[in-house]
Amino acid sequence: MRYTFAQPVVDLAVLDKTIRTLNLTGFGGLSCDGTSLFAEFEGDAEIPAEDKAALDATIKAYVYAPSWDKVREDRIPLLDAADICFRRCFDNDMDTAALKVYRQALRDVTKGPDPLKPVWPVKP
C-alpha cells in the first residue's frame, strides 16, 4: 500500500526515522519522485485508522513547519510597514482603527489552515 503526500522540504532520512518511532503496522519506508512523498507499507491492506492519523500528523508537521517559517519571514516587512503607518497616523491624531485590525490580521496569518497558501489581509 502506498500513501502519497506533497513533497516536503526536509531530510527524508530524519522524517523516516521519526515515523519509525511511531511503530506503525507494516511501515516499510519513505520514497519520493521529486514532487511527491510516498509512505510505503507492506501488503495491500489499509493501515489502521489510528496509524494513518499518526502518519498524517507527523508528515504534516514536517511539511508545514518550514512553510510557516517562510510565511513568518514574509510577514516581517508587512508588519514593519504597518507599524510605521500606524505611528504616523497616531502622531497626527488620525484614526488608527483600520490599521489595528490590519496589524492583528497580519499576526493571525499563521493561524490559517495552509501555509502554502496563506491568506494575506488587504492593507487599509
Question: What is the spatial distance between Cα 90 and Cα 113, in angstroms, rounded to a whole number?
Answer: 33
**Domain residue limits, the chain:** 2-111
User: What pLDDT does residue 6 have?
Assistant: 62
User: What pLDDT does residue 51 have?
Assistant: 83
User: What pLDDT does residue 18 have?
Assistant: 82
User: What pLDDT does residue 1 have?
Assistant: 60
User: What pLDDT does residue 9 have?
Assistant: 54
User: What pLDDT does residue 19 have?
Assistant: 84
Spans of the chain below 50 pLDDT: none
- Residue-wise over 39-71: b if at least 16 C-beta within 10 A, else e? bebeeeeebeeebeebbeebbeebbbeebeeeb
